[in-house]
Structure 1
Amino acid sequence: MRVIHFSGLAILALVRSSVAAAVQSNESSFSADAARYRWAPGTVISYKGSPDFRQATERWDIYKPPTYSVAITPAVEADVATAVKLARQQKVPLLATGGRHGISTTLAKMQGGVAIDLSKLNSISIDKKAVTITVGPGVRFGDVYEPLYKAGFQIQTGTATCPGMIGVTLGGGIGRLDGLQGLVLDALVSARIVLANGTLLEVSKTSNPDLFWGVQGAGQNFGVVTSATYKVQPLYKGGIWTSVDLIVPIEKNLSYFKAVSGMLPMPADLTVQTTAVYNTTLKRTQLLSSLVYAGPKEAGLKAMAPILNLGPFPFQNVSTLALDKLNENAMFQANAAICVKQQIFDVYGFNLKTFDVPTMVSVVRKMSDFFDTQPAARKSALLLETWPNQAVMAVPDDATAYPWRDATTYGRGLIEEIRQIELRWDTPGDPVEAAANSLGRDVRAALAATSGYGNLTVYVNYAWGDESLESIYGAKKLPRLARLKAQYDPSNVFQFYHALPTSYP
């Protein structure tokens, strides 16, 4: 299949009969319409079967993925707007992606449309005087660590290096700096966004502030963000962090969860990440615990004492890490394996306001039983991210569209604990899928029942796709979000990521 690079006389070549005859009729029609626009050198339009198409559409998660007939990879911001206009002209659906780490099954509703691949818009600019960083939608978290660290700054991010920074921001952005700096979206100063009609807007607290409010928590519903500017902070305690990895035997899970519960609310500079996994060598379930402290070793170990005192552990590793290397090396250096593309991730997320120890013990037992009966799914895990949320809670609830600032746990107490059940197997269509989905819903329901919310709530970036709008966006936020949807995207062009209605209730 052919790939079109828009430079020089290449546009004229689009309409040559010899080329048109080499592609399917829908490609020929798309190419003819594409040729009527002026594209920047370096912008690429590609079709199925070409290396450029694969590169423009390859995903991290291949469970219930979107599919495309054509991909557009803009080299400049203006071509994003042109791509949106072209898709609208062709009356085909579109989906713009940066890191392509979205796990929602609602993305599978996109079938045979236009992929707008934002990977080439990967500029990074640090303004030391303004104390800001401006990034394009092709920038991943891992791209900003080193330049910020060298400049003496830090910014809140997720825990993996590979997700797109802007994409995560639009849903909130949780991570190890929640207690000290808040959500990633709390650092957002302004953004540039292409609307459904191709208009480019600047949004901030002073420019289109209503849309800026909606972008901060439900941004995938309103347009394509082509750049974002964030406030950064000086390195905390010189950018030195303490990381401790522990293997906790299943026999200690009750005492372990009691220790975590007793530490809540978590200190602002301490985080606990717990993962229930299957050990293929020992042939049994175990807990992996990642304790991370913003500061030097002596203070860090003191803060972690309630858990460390449960030892000895079969494995314990203590590291002192610079912030720019933290996410690559914490949590058993799992980042490299996590960031491998083209894997199956069937994720059920949930938030907790309370940390109920009996429920934790029960769901780990359910995971253990699942591992025993479903060998094909032994790469699955129950992930509990226990982040402090002092800085998250310091932002007024009505300041952004993000709905769960009051979570004393996203699965926890006066912390923010994001829980997710990550179900994995190797082959699409494997019979284990039905059992995995049954377990995911069962565990999610059990945790929601003791979450302190009275029902299921979920961080939008972890939502599976079967949750209610209220569970994702919060009933209090939905009326305003629906009005914004009706104003900025009444035709529901941006409909594939937990779509908002244009009226509510």
Structure 2
Amino acid sequence: MHRLTIEVITAMCAWAISAVGQSVSTGRLCPQGGPYNMIELVKKLSPAARIYCPGTEEFEEASIRWSVLEEPKVNVIVVPGTVDDVAETVKFANQRKLPFLAYNGAHGAVTTLGKMDHGIEILMHQLSSVEIAKDGKTAKVGGGTMSKTVTDTLWEAGKQTGKLMITVTGACECVSLLGPGLGGGHGWLQGHYGLIADQFVSMDIVMADGSRTIIDKTSSLWWAMKGAGHNFGIVTAVTTKIYDIKHRDWAIETLVFGGDKVEAVYQAANDHFLTNKTQPVDVIHWSYWLNNLDANPNKPVIIFYVIQEGVKAVDTVYTKPFHDIGPLSAEAVGGSYTDLAEWTDISTSAPPCQKAGLANPRFPIYLELYNVTAQRKAYDLFASAARGSSTFSRSVFMFEGYSMQGVQGIDPESTAFAFRDANLLVAPLITYLPADSDLDKRAAKLGEQLRQILYEGSGRKELRAYINYSYGDETLQQWYGNEKWRQDRLQALKRKYDPEGKFSFYAPIA
């Protein structure tokens, strides 16, 4: 059997703690003996490292994921205290032919993770740090650092020096910098600077054989790490570009519409933000479809955000077309960059960031424009499935309309991220309390139907999916680009750097 029972592992845990308790604190050691023989690994780990086993509160907390659909299964959790701890854990796993998987925010919900049915979790949280270079142009960020930590650290450092600094992170506060960054990584500042991955200057990586290396643009692997990086190594630190903040002020206007306004809202978005690429670099539009009993107890509402940088209130030239449609409500707020996540309900304390035992599959698609006929058809299907007290009532349909100048200004052939010409990142998020495989199939069918409606409305020959939101049944072409040269290059690099497929659980190339 690949997996030991929880009872056996817990018993072995207790034995090992008593046997070597002189050097390892209680709760930090997992079993000696059996196929894992963890005592051999313990000897090579730093004093700061921790090892958790089933049956302990530490294990249960460290293995919780944001989406419980097709979760990876692990028998032991190693929490490295140093980069060498990561390398030693990978070597240990290889010696015993055990799968391993690095965890960060644990917000990846792709179902391919479920192919890991036993093995070692490498929890990266202790490798959290932000070191600003003396010249103020780069920062070295630990592999386990959350996006909020990066933003807050740079912001606080800037306040002390009088020179505020920032870098591109994911929009959601509760994910790591590197989790989304290795898949490209969208964020509020991408209109100015490009994707998260476009900021990377160098990476410290533990490779599939447990060796450590530092790579930069001179490495053949560099191209792949910026868009398909989950397939090639564990990044223990990244040096990333940082920038002087151009504007301290940001503002948002939140408009709420009933479902009867679908066509009008998204036609206005096309006309004023997307057609002929008219969305300015300092303006972002976002929207959600979700249930809001206060606004409408019967059907999901449209929550539409217009966000602007460098102002205390959003310019009416961007909001008037939406006011003219007749929103149910409108609210304008001003603040700073650090308020954006809270304004858009994706801060660390917001419901979407909580690990509540729910299944959260997403079904992403990149678009250039909104097809208003398809938007209506998708809304009607979503409303019929998610309204009121239905099984999928917690679900959200997300429409992310970032400014794209910085992303599209970078050579599309320079990174493994392939979809720089898209203007919109769209995804239904089908949220539900898991019950059985039939319910999982119903959720998948709904998500796929919604995505298919938008795909057919796009007029594109191929569907393109953001891997950080992907469901798991997409093709390699849909994840990494339809061009043959892209697929050939990725396959060749996989054979060179991970020939045994050690990194093949997250949107795998092979």
Using structure 1 for the length normalisation, give the TM-score.
0.89
Give the Cα–Cα distance (whole angstroms) in 2 for the partners of residues 341 and 117 of structure 1. 16
Between 67-76 and 330-339, the greater mean CA deviation after superposition:
330-339
Secondary structure of the residue aligned to 1:497 is coil
Cα 1:78–1:192 shift into 2, 3 Å: same
Q: Pairwise mapping of residues 46-445 of structure 1 onto structure 2 (< 5 A)?
A: 46-150=52-156, 151=158, 152-206=164-218, 208=219, 210-237=220-247, 239-263=248-272, 264=274, 265=277, 266-281=279-294, 282-298=297-313, 300-311=315-326, 313-331=327-345, 336-342=350-356, 343-372=358-387, 375-407=390-422, 416-429=423-436, 432-445=439-452
1:254–1:357 CA contact under 8 A, matched in 2: yes
**Between Structure 1 and Structure 2, how many residues are aligned?**
481
Q: Deviations over 1:204-234 (max 9, x none)?
A: 113x2x1111100000000100001110111
1:41 CA displacement: 0.5
Secondary structure of the residue aligned to 1:241 is strand
Between 146-155 and 465-474, the greater mean CA deviation after superposition:
146-155
Q: Deviations over 1:453-476 (max 9, x none)?
A: 312110111111101100110132
Query: Are positions 1:465 and 2:472 aligned together?
Result: yes
1:176 CA displacement: 2.1
1:293 CA displacement: 0.9
Secondary structure of the residue aligned to 1:377 is coil
Secondary structure of the residue aligned to 2:285 is strand
Q: Deviations over 1:275-319 (max 9, x none)?
A: 1112335222211112211121355333333223323x2221111
Give the Cα–Cα distance (whole angstroms) in 2 for the partners of residues 349 and 61 of structure 1. 16
Amino acid at match of 1:26: G
Secondary structure of the residue aligned to 2:192 is coil
1:23 CA displacement: 5.7
Give the Cα–Cα distance (whole angstroms) in 1 for the partners of residues 135 and 16 of structure 2. 38
Give the Cα–Cα distance (whole angstroms) in 2 for the partners of residues 167 and 322 of structure 1. 25
Give the Cα–Cα distance (whole angstroms) in 1 for the partners of residues 119 and 282 of structure 2. 44
Give the Cα–Cα distance (whole angstroms) in 1 for the partners of residues 128 and 500 of structure 2. 29
Q: Deviations over 1:22-64 (max 9, x none)?
A: 969636x4324324x4210021122111122223322122121
Give the Cα–Cα distance (whole angstroms) in 1 for the partners of residues 412 and 22 of structure 2. 50
2:24–2:47 CA contact under 8 A, matched in 1: no
Secondary structure of the residue aligned to 1:53 is helix
Residue in 1 that maps onto 2:3: none
Residue in 2 that maps onto 1:490: 499
Residue in 1 that maps onto 2:161: none
Give the Cα–Cα distance (whole angstroms) in 1 for the partners of residues 387 and 408 of structure 2. 40
Cα 1:293–1:400 shift into 2, 3 Å: same
Secondary structure of the residue aligned to 2:402 is strand
Amino acid at match of 1:137: G
Amino acid at match of 1:218: A
Cα 1:184–1:430 shift into 2, 3 Å: same
Secondary structure of the residue aligned to 1:66 is coil
1:354–1:452 CA contact under 8 A, matched in 2: no
**Which of the numbers 480, 489, 495 marks the counterpart of 1:480?**
489
Secondary structure of the residue aligned to 2:488 is helix
1:269–1:388 CA contact under 8 A, matched in 2: yes
Secondary structure of the residue aligned to 2:121 is strand
1:98 CA displacement: 1.3
Q: Deviations over 1:152-195 (max 9, x none)?
A: 11212222100011111000111222212211111111111100
Between 174-183 and 79-88, the greater mean CA deviation after superposition:
174-183
**Which of the numbers 34, 54, 64 marks the counterpart of 1:26?**
34
Amino acid at match of 1:314: L
Amino acid at match of 2:207: L
Secondary structure of the residue aligned to 2:458 is coil
Query: Are positions 1:451 and 2:458 aligned together?
Result: yes
1:242–1:300 CA contact under 8 A, matched in 2: no
1:194–1:223 CA contact under 8 A, matched in 2: yes
Using structure 2 for the length normalisation, give the TM-score.
0.89
1:344 CA displacement: 2.0
Give the Cα–Cα distance (whole angstroms) in 2 for the partners of residues 258 and 251 of structure 1. 13
Between 129-138 and 254-263, the greater mean CA deviation after superposition:
129-138
2:215–2:222 CA contact under 8 A, matched in 1: yes
Residue in 2 that maps onto 1:17: none
2:83–2:236 CA contact under 8 A, matched in 1: yes
Amino acid at match of 1:351: Y
What is the aligned-residue RMSD (CA, Å)? Answer: 2.5
Unaligned runs of 5+ in 1: 15-19, 408-415
Amino acid at match of 1:493: K
